């Protein structure tokens, strides 16, 4: 890897992308390296850098599947592998002219210290550029998942598997949630229309708007004034499943970065909302978001850094929104590094943690109170099966069925799958404490 330590400033854009892909391959999350890496890239190139990095990760296993037959022996070199996938992604998935994609990617391989192997990169990319249609078909026909995840999804969703695999390869739409305390959705759509920003209302969320083009959201009208937040459409359904929370005490467990807490405060006037999370850094985001949205003025909000498996409130509460830690397979379109970072062994660990939090949080709920269990996973072991075990162990728990025109009814709760041009994969189950 020492060859890769050449001065970052002198590297071309593709080499910068490869360095980011290498960081993810070595176990770092995209969120932890993105800002550091993107700052080295010139401002005019940042959009392309972002697209190439996320696109490559989204198509990683599909690119791997079509590359293997082109190699006489395994590359055994992560940097070269990243160069190849990046070149292929540009040729097969973007409008970048093939000659530009090839020359820039080959240069990147040389800049990163792999000149002897750059001929191989050049030869493979040229072949693919001559047979683009065949390779595009092959790419589309791959499931694009690590094998362990493919097997799990096959077991859970055999009848929907092709659709799920294809949808997880797509770019997730940019969805806003309008702050009802300031403006209605129709009013905000009119403002966007006046600014010639293409947008459409969400179908399931009554405060959601999908932007047809991505861009810097801080430049949208009303951002500074707190007119909207960015939140997935399926995540916005949370508040529609809650009872009237006016004058009630609520815990938003695992609250960061605060989308659900903000939505609750936009919709209700609670007596108190406790935003709980173990990550102090991410909790800062909650404070910042509530401040921007002007939701911390009238409401009593307590932001607490603590462990949801042990923390105890001063008194029992009326409602708990538990957005449980999970594998996040349902939001893989937005966080494509999950494809490379998540391992099969992680799943049982996360299921055990969910169980601990559920068990402890349940004890903090008043009789008659509601717990809304949420994950952004589509694995049944974290969702339906977790709930089957919970109800078997808690005689004082009763499911309040979700009667809705969305998602798929499960033994307990409802499951939303990632949909092209719509929301991500979310699971909801509503539980009432009866004794």
Task: Give, for all 435 residues of the chain, the pLDDT tens digit.
Answer: 434 444 566 899 999 999 999 999 999 999 999 989 999 999 999 999 999 999 999 999 999 999 999 998 888 899 999 999 999 999 999 999 999 999 999 999 999 999 999 999 999 999 999 999 999 999 999 999 999 999 999 999 999 999 999 999 999 999 999 999 999 999 999 999 999 999 999 999 999 999 998 888 999 999 999 999 999 999 999 999 999 999 999 999 999 999 999 999 999 999 999 999 999 999 999 999 999 999 977 669 999 999 999 999 999 999 999 999 999 999 999 999 999 999 999 999 999 999 999 999 999 999 999 999 999 999 999 999 999 999 999 999 999 999 999 999 999 999 999 999 999 999 999 999 999
- 202 counts as catalytic: no
Query: Given the structure tokens 């490379």, which residue do they identify?
Result: 340
Q: What is the pTM of this model?
A: 0.95
**Fold for domain 2-140?**
N-utilizing Substance Protein B Homolog; Chain A (1.10.940)
Which residues, including other chains, have CB under 8 Å from residue 242's CB and lie 6 or more apart?
264, 268, 319, 321, 370, 372
The phi, psi pair for 186, rounded to 5°, reads: -60, -40
Provide DSSP, 290-313: HHHTT-TTTS-EEEEE--TTT---
Domain boundaries, the chain: 2-140, 174-230, 235-433
Answer yes or no: are the C-beta atoms of 188 and 179 closer than 8 Å: no
Which homologous superfamily does the CATH classification assign to the domain defined by 174-230? Sun protein; domain 3 (3.30.70.1170)
Residue 155 CA: distances (Å) to CA of 293, 351, 378, 407: 42, 17, 12, 19
Answer yes or no: are the C-beta atoms of 245 and 268 closer than 8 Å: yes
Give me the helix-helix angle, 98-111 and 78-93, nearest 10°. 170
**Annotated active-site residue in 202, 238, 254, 376:** 376
**Fold for domain 235-433?**
Rossmann fold (3.40.50)
Answer yes or no: are the C-beta atoms of 320 and 274 closer than 8 Å: no
């Amino acid at each position: 890897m020492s060859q890769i330590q050449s001065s970052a400033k002198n590297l071309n854009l593709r080499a910068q992308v490869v360095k980011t892909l290498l960081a993810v391959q070595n176990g770092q999350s995209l969120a932890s390296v993105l800002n550091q890496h993107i700052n080295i890239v010139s401002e005019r190139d940042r959009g392309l850098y972002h697209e190439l990095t996320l696109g490559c990760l989204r198509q990683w296993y599909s690119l791997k599947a079509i590359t293997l037959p082109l190699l006489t022996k395994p590359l055994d070199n992560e940097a070269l592998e990243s160069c190849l996938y990046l070149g292929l992604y540009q040729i097969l998935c973007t409008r970048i002219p093939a000659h530009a994609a090839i020359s820039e990617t080959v240069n990147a391989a040389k800049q990163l210290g792999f000149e002897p192997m750059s001929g191989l990169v050049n030869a493979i990319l040229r072949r693919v550029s001559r047979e683009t249609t065949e390779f595009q078909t092959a790419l589309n026909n791959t499931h694009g998942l690590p094998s362990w995840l493919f097997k799990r999804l096959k077991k859970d969703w055999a009848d929907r598997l092709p659709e799920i695999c294809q949808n997880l390869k797509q770019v997730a739409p940019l969805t806003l949630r309008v702050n009802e305390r300031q403006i209605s959705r129709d009013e905000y759509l009119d403002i966007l229309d006046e600014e010639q920003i293409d947008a459409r209302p969400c179908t399931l969320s009554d405060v959601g708007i999908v932007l047809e083009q991505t861009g810097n959201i801080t430049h949208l009208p009303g951002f500074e004034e707190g007119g909207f937040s960015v939140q997935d459409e399926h995540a916005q359904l949370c508040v529609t499943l809650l009872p009237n929370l006016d004058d009630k005490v609520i815990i938003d467990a695992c609250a960061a970065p605060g989308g659900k807490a903000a939505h609750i405060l936009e919709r209700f006037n609670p007596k108190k909302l406790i935003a709980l999370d173990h990550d102090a850094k991410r909790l800062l985001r909650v404070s910042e978001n509530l401040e921007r949205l002007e939701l911390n003025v009238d409401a009593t909000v307590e932001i607490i850094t603590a462990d949801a498996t042990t923390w105890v409130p001063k008194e029992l509460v009326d409602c708990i929104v538990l957005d449980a830690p999970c594998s996040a397979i349902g939001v893989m379109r937005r966080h494509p590094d999950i494809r490379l970072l998540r391992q099969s062994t992680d799943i049982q660990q996360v299921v055990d943690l969910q169980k601990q939090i559920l068990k402890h949080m349940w004890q903090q709920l008043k009789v008659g109170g509601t717990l809304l269990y949420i994950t952004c996973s589509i694995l049944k072991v974290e969702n339906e099966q977790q709930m089957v075990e919970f109800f078997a162990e808690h005689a004082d728990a009763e499911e309040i069925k979700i009667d809705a025109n969305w998602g798929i009814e499960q033994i307990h709760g409802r499951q939303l799958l990632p949909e092209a041009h719509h929301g991500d994969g979310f699971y909801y189950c509503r539980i009432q404490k009866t004794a």
